[in-house]
Amino acid sequence: MTHFTRLRHLAPSALALFLLGAPLAFYMARHGVGLTREGFALHAPDWTRLQDAPAVIQLHLAAALVALAIGVILLTGVKGTRRHRILGWTWVLAMATTAISSFFIHQINPGGLSLIHALSGWTLVGLPMAVHAARRHRVEAHRRAMTGMFVGGLVVAGLLTFLPGRLMWAVFFGPN
């Protein structure tokens, strides 16, 4: 499989993100969503909000960013190599850390779990299944599971952190 062919497989996901994100951004800009109600303001990121966040949120974010970076490399790189296996195990550890740490974060639903925790549960069940598929040389099942966890458990969940009222919204768009 050539590099171009691998990238072509990512095109539908990128298109879907654009088709969902562009209208939202247009609507927000056109209608001034949140300019007064939610304190929307473009500014340089306020990193002190992350520094002031609980340690579990900092761990969660660090693990998620590691998983995101490694995931992009794995999705676009050559499969089946020693490098792929080493990065793959590192990605599995980062994803497991991200998923487990999420169960200790309760900002959306204080004292309980929220719907987003379902993605974490799905990830914790899916990771060993995907590794098992790879060890059994069931490449297609492995690819589908890992891509699904990358897109759903990491990218979608990550995008949800940018909704108004969430920490990443405050870091990038909240009042200064």
| Domain chopping of the chain, boundaries | 44-172
15: enclosing H helix or E strand: helix 3-31
DSSP state of 6: H
For the chain, 176 residues long, give each residue's pLDDT as a single digit of tens.
Answer: 555 555 556 555 655 555 566 555 555 555 555 444 455 666 788 899 999 999 999 999 999 999 999 999 999 999 999 999 999 999 999 999 999 999 998 776 677 777 788 889 999 999 999 999 999 999 999 999 999 999 988 998 899 888 888 889 888 887 76
Label residues 54-86 b or e (16+ Cβ within 10 Å = b).
eeebebbbebbebbbebbeebbeeeeeeeebee
Look at residue 137 in the predicted model and tell me its pLDDT: 95
What pTM, to 2 d.p., does this model score?
0.75
Question: At a CB cut-off of 8 Å and minimum separation 6, what does 135 contact?
Answer: none
- Cα–Cα distance measured from residue 84 to residue 73, given in angstroms and rounded to the nearest whole number: 9
- Cα–Cα distance measured from residue 78 to residue 89, given in angstroms and rounded to the nearest whole number: 15
Alpha helices in 32-166 (DSSP H): 48-51, 55-76, 82-102, 116-135, 139-148, 157-160
CA nearest neighbour of 149 among 134, 129, 135: 129
Classify burial at 28, counting beta carbons within 10 Å of its beta carbon; exposed 0-12, middle 13-18, buried 19 or more.
middle
Q: What angle do CA 48, 162, 154 make, to 5 degrees?
A: 105
Please give the backbone phi and psi of residue 30, each rounded to the nearest 5 degrees, phi first: -70, -40
Look at residue 39 in the predicted model and tell me its pLDDT: 56
Contact 147, 133 (CB under 8 A): no
Look at residue 134 in the predicted model and tell me its pLDDT: 95
